[in-house]
Amino acid sequence: MLARLTMIASGATQATRKGRFPNDEAPEPRALDRAGALAASLRRADRVWTSPALAARQTAEALGLDATVEPLLGEQDFGRWAGLSFEEVQAEDPEGMAVWFADVDAAPHGGESLAAVARRGAALMERLASESGHTIALTHPVPIRAAIVHVLGAPLSSVWKIDIEPMSLTEFRGDGRRWVLHASGVVVGTK
């Protein structure tokens, strides 16, 4: 049984451009304008899922994809840090920021830990491993990073060493027993 998973990072938002923790905002208009180039390169999918977040849902629409909301693809809940810049959090809660980077089970912001995001992603990939065909999943950088380290068997803390660009594709292939990382960081239509 062959499975293919294409994860697409949602279009850039004001938060991503300004180094802020996401707060369920819409993608920038220019991000949606670029979706046409990406849409033309996508292969037919048996399933199209999207995160519940506005950026992912609007990116799916801009790509012309009829997507079903899948809660397991949701962005990490950053709690009281949502909407704040990294610099603001570092100034207001330096100990919390240090704990967050050092402990994947920590959620000093009152939201969701990195480990919880990884568990959601692993559950999704386990479910997909038993389904043949191609799934396109519109999501966010943290869930994509977590999926990469899950497939590679790397420590979860490795997510901090992976950069996922807006509107980039990360592809996985599965044979029912294991997943492999097929391609990562493919960006289409960004000029």
CATH architecture of the domain formed by 3-77+113-187: 3-Layer(aba) Sandwich (3.40)
Question: Which amino acid appears at position 47 of this protein?
Answer: R
pLDDT digit string (tens) for the chain, length 191 residues: 699 999 999 999 998 888 999 999 999 988 888 887 788 888 889 999 999 999 999 999 999 999 999 999 999 999 999 999 999 999 999 999 999 999 999 999 999 999 999 999 999 999 998 888 999 999 999 999 999 999 999 999 999 999 999 999 999 999 988 999 998 777 755 44
Q: Decide: residue 23, CB within 10 A, 0-12 exposed, 13-18 middle, 19+ buried.
A: middle
Q: How far apart, in whole angstroms, are the C-alpha atoms of residue 111 and residue 78?
A: 5
Lookup result for tokens 């490795």: 158
Tell me if 25 sits within 8 A of 13, measured CB to CB.
Answer: yes
Ordered by start, the domain boundaries in the chain are: 3-77+113-187
Q: Is the dihedral of CA 57, 54, 89, 117 positive or negative?
A: negative
